[in-house]
Amino acid sequence: MPLLEHIYELRTRLLIAVGAIVLTLGFGFWWYGSGFLGVPSLGSILTGPYCDIPPGARLQLGANGDDCRLLATGPFEQFMLRLKVAATAGIVLASPVWLYQLWAFITPGLHRNEKRYGIVFTILAALLFVGGAVLAYVVIVHALEFLLSIGDNVQTTALSGTQYFSFLIHLILIFGVSFEIPLLIAMLNVAGVLSYEVLARSRRGIVMGVFVFAAVASPGQDPFSMLALAVAVCVLVEVSIQFARLHDRRRKKDRAEWLDVDDESASTIAPADGLEGSDAVRSTGPLPAPAPLGGTQPLQAPSGGAAYDDTI
């Protein structure tokens, strides 16, 4: 395909992906304030961890203090916050469409085995990201309770919508992206870049690096989110290391026949077409020395002259 047709194809697939994101963004904007089919509204789902905090650790509204709402400190803050949450939900909901468009654009340049591994890794990447986001949503309740109740005898925390949703989205993204690290290790092993021996020797360093990364990347800097992120990623890294062990073992088993052959040994030559039995030529050792060209008879001189003594 010429370069110009590649550009046209890329434009078409980008338009399809952007169109899908726009549609899901509109759905997310409506879902933010309305529920459907027994599913609560997106705003209620996202503010759930904040509302699960004891009333004494957050701003109490209503007659009995049971009204849970976030603050808005600007005239356009509610609209922009709703649009931001809807855009995030739209990208997540439209991920099957734009991932498929990306995959369909890359696929023609891949070999058959690369396509098979690519499909598996794409599905696993989506599942791992969703798993990390779910874990972040579960952990954020304990993280907020620790952060907001550590000084509740002196002050009460009144979070604005921007502060709360920024913290929630950052935590979800950090967990989701971090859960892709074990998949990256497995991909490098399949590509032959990282072997099980290297990973086994570096296990302690990897675990130490994961804990340091969790301590630095966690937006709340609270012990619950840091510990949950570090432990979960370490478990997944260990799973990827065991996958590398099994994969390397199978690779060595499949290539055992030709891995043990000396580089200087002659390889077997298949029989020539139409030859059977003793006529089939196979190399079993060093090749014989070539026969001398010509004969050893002296060359005859032209009539009337002496014979040459030189031989060829």
Between 254 and 297, whose confidence is greater? 254
Residues contacting 246, CB < 8 A, separation 6+: none
For the cut 80, the answer to whether the pLDDT of residue 284 exceeds it is: no
pLDDT tens by residue, 66-100: 667 777 777 788 888 888 888 888 888 887 788 77
Q: What does each C-alpha distance from 93 to 101, 121, 152 come to in angstroms? A: 14, 19, 38
Ranking 96-100, 203-207, 287-291 by mean pLDDT, the lowest is 287-291
State how far the Cα of 97 lies from the Cα of 83, in Å rounded to an integer.
21
Residue % of the chain over a pLDDT of 70: 68
For the segment 136-169, what is each residue's pLDDT rounded down to a tens digit? 888 887 777 777 766 556 666 677 778 788 888 8
Alpha helices (H) in 150-271, listed in sequence order: 161-178, 181-190, 196-201, 203-217, 223-254, 256-259
CB 81 within 8 A of CB 165: yes
Closest listed residue to residue 283, CA positions, set 258, 259, 264, 255 = 264
- Asked if residue 197 has pLDDT above 70, the reply is yes
Q: 36 — phi, psi (to 5°)? A: -155, 140
Question: Which pLDDT tens digit goes with each residue over 12-23?
Answer: 889 998 999 999
- The answer to pTM > 0.75 is no
Query: How far are the Cα atoms of 188, 190, 248, 259 from residue 251, in angstroms, in the given order?
Result: 14, 10, 5, 11
Residues β-bridged to residue 36:
39
Comparison of pLDDT for 14 and 36, the residue scoring more: 14
Query: Residue 243 carries which side chain, given as an amino acid letter?
Result: F
Assigned token pair, 253: 């088993």
Band of residue 300 on the pLDDT scale cut at 50, 70, 90: low
Cα–Cα distance for residue pair 23/18, rounded to 1 Å: 9
Report how far residue 69's alpha carbon sits from residue 79's, in angstroms, rounded to the nearest whole number: 15
